[in-house]
Structure 1
Amino acid sequence: MARLLVIVPSDTDPPARLGGWLRAAGLELDERHLSLGEPVPADLTGHDGLLVLGGPQSSLDPADVSPELVGVRHLLAQALAADLPTLAICLGAQLLAQVGGGSTRVGVDGPEVGAALVAKRDAADGDPVFGPVPLSPDVIEWHHDEIDRLPAGATLLASSPAYRNQAYRVGRQVYGLQFHIETDEAMVRGWAETDPVGVASTPFDVETICARAGDVHPDLEEVWAPFAERFAGLVHAQAAGRSGPG
């Protein structure tokens, strides 16, 4: 079975529904929960793909503030070098941009929080994973930092009115999503109840943010479950190549 290494920097952002879609697509998930002290592998040996999720840490944190992210950066750099099927979400996408030679900063227009729409860019049409996504899909945003510069040669796949670099691809198989597709209602409520700065940046209170997210969760599944299946296809192909003929 194709094995996906799943790095969970914080248990506030587990694989949740995304994990279910990937398992349904036939992947074995090797989850490493960093907040539980589970180790980050030194390399990607024995894995056919990589998923890095989000968390309250900042991509701008130095090693003494968020030492658990040091190993995550090393894995992302290895995945980039090998063009291994990779999906990096929110904090993961920011770390990916950094290790690829791009940069992040505190969001110049403040946090981007709650149910939102992003707009697919023309370059996404030919992408095997992102291409079938609708022109303006629903997503959940929850970030205080932004990716202000993509790695050289990266392909921008989606943008939002607030922040341009919402989805991108580096190489052929490495994807970064600034937004969330994995959420369930309990996760969004947890974020809203513990992030007063983020909530205050919106026109809404906690209950309204949660209700709006709940309203779009069925639409997220309709769009992003097939996206997850297409990404899983890359991982399966990688596994087939690793195992060789026969």
Structure 2
Amino acid sequence: MKPFLILQLRPESDAAEEEFEALLDKGGLPRARAHRIRLDQEPLPQGLSARDFAGVIVGGGPGCVSDPPEKKTPAEAQCEAAVMRLMPEIVGEDVPFLGCCYGIGILGHFLGAPVSKARWSEPVGTSACRLTEEGRRDPLLEGCPDEFVAFVGHKEALQALPEGAAHLVASETCPFQMIRAGRNVYATQFHPEADGAVFETRIRTYRNHGYFPPEDADRLIEMCHAAPVEAPPLILRNFVRRYG
């Protein structure tokens, strides 16, 4: 059986390690079937093809696709360039792909849709999401209720649906919470791998990155641990089951 390629973009080791463990746990993915690359630490190997894997999962990160080059750190620029290098093959050949948070910016930008900080950013916390008609029919959302709560926290967002893409999940605070291109290329604005413990680590890690006032960290951690977030991990598990 082919492994899944997990690409990580977080230069902060605590957050990166916990994200990786959460992706395995929530996806029901055995460690032996995960090929992990931390793009801040190593480049994509020459000759690597997305078709060599059962699917590609891209985690989140502190970078923003819409930031001008001079505002991106070298690590952010390196990570973005590496993922973008794979997108022509992934989209062109409909290779199974699941981009989480940062991944929706990557996919939207590649498809020519506007990604910016103009509207629809969401503070660290939760968002009340709902399935669209298309979402109710999508196999990755099987088992998800029509309305559910998900963890979010992002500065930029899709400003419009990419041409030809399917709109699967929406919310009042950010319309494009999940989309699909082709049959197998997915991206979420929310974090399907996150639970209260995972978000606690991220709140502590990114408390000075402009997502929220640093003095709000303890209040946000308490809120995240109390949040009834149950449905989003089903998306990860359905992705692994469908393509594994």
Residues 78-87 or 176-185, more deviating = 176-185
2:88 to 67, 71, 77: 77
Structure 1 equivalent of residue 39 of structure 2: 34
1:165-244 alignment runs, 5 A limit: 165-193=176-204, 194-196=206-208, 197-200=210-213, 205-216=216-227, 219-220=229-230, 223-236=231-244
Judging changes above 3 Å, is the alpha-carbon distance between structure 1 residues 225 and 141 closer, same or farther for their aligned structure 2 residues?
A: closer
Judging changes above 3 Å, is the alpha-carbon distance between structure 1 residues 18 and 107 closer, same or farther for their aligned structure 2 residues?
A: farther
> What amino acid does structure 1 have at the position aligned with 2:65?
S
Alpha-carbon distance, 1:56 to partner? 0.4
Structure 2 equivalent of residue 59 of structure 1: 65
Name the TM-score, length of structure 2 as normaliser. Answer: 0.83
Distance in structure 1 (CA, Å) of the matches to 2:111 and 2:36: 24
Structure 1 equivalent of residue 7 of structure 2: 7
2:170 to 115, 136, 159: 159
Distance in structure 2 (CA, Å) of the matches to 1:110 and 1:155: 21
> What amino acid does structure 2 have at the position aligned with 1:198?
Y
> What amino acid does structure 1 have at the position aligned with 2:176?
N
Structure 2 equivalent of residue 19 of structure 1: 24
1:78-111 C-alpha deviation (Å, 9 max, x unpaired): 1111111110011111101111221200142554
Alpha-carbon distance, 1:234 to partner? 2.7
Whether 2:103 is the aligned partner of 1:92: answer yes
Distance in structure 2 (CA, Å) of the matches to 1:56 and 1:145: 11
Whether 2:62 is the aligned partner of 1:49: answer no
Give ranges in structure 2 of 5+ residues lacking alignment: none
Alpha-carbon distance, 1:187 to partner? 3.6
Distance in structure 1 (CA, Å) of the matches to 2:174 and 2:234: 25
Q: Percent identity?
A: 21
Residues 19-28 or 97-106, more deviating = 19-28
Kept in 2: contact 1:173–1:234 (CA 8 A): no
1:126 to 116, 137, 142: 137
1:96-140 C-alpha deviation (Å, 9 max, x unpaired): 111122120014255432122211112111111124311111210
* Count of aligned residue pairs for this structure pair: 230
Kept in 1: contact 2:118–2:156 (CA 8 A): yes
Residues 67-76 or 226-235, more deviating = 226-235
Kept in 1: contact 2:2–2:52 (CA 8 A): no
1:141-162 C-alpha deviation (Å, 9 max, x unpaired): 0100011123211111111111
Kept in 2: contact 1:16–1:183 (CA 8 A): no
Distance in structure 2 (CA, Å) of the matches to 1:24 and 1:198: 30
Give ranges in structure 1 of 5+ residues lacking alignment: 237-246
**Structure 1 segments of 4+ aligned residues over 6 angstroms from their partners:** none
> What amino acid does structure 2 have at the position aligned with 1:84?
V
Distance in structure 2 (CA, Å) of the matches to 1:90 and 1:48: 21
Kept in 1: contact 2:123–2:212 (CA 8 A): no
SS of residue paired to 2:159: strand
Kept in 1: contact 2:4–2:33 (CA 8 A): yes
Name the TM-score, length of structure 1 as normaliser. Answer: 0.83
CA RMSD across the alignment: 2.5
Residues 60-69 or 134-143, more deviating = 60-69
Judging changes above 3 Å, is the alpha-carbon distance between structure 1 residues 109 and 87 closer, same or farther for their aligned structure 2 residues?
A: closer
Distance in structure 1 (CA, Å) of the matches to 2:198 and 2:236: 19
Alpha-carbon distance, 1:77 to partner? 2.6
SS of residue paired to 1:158: strand
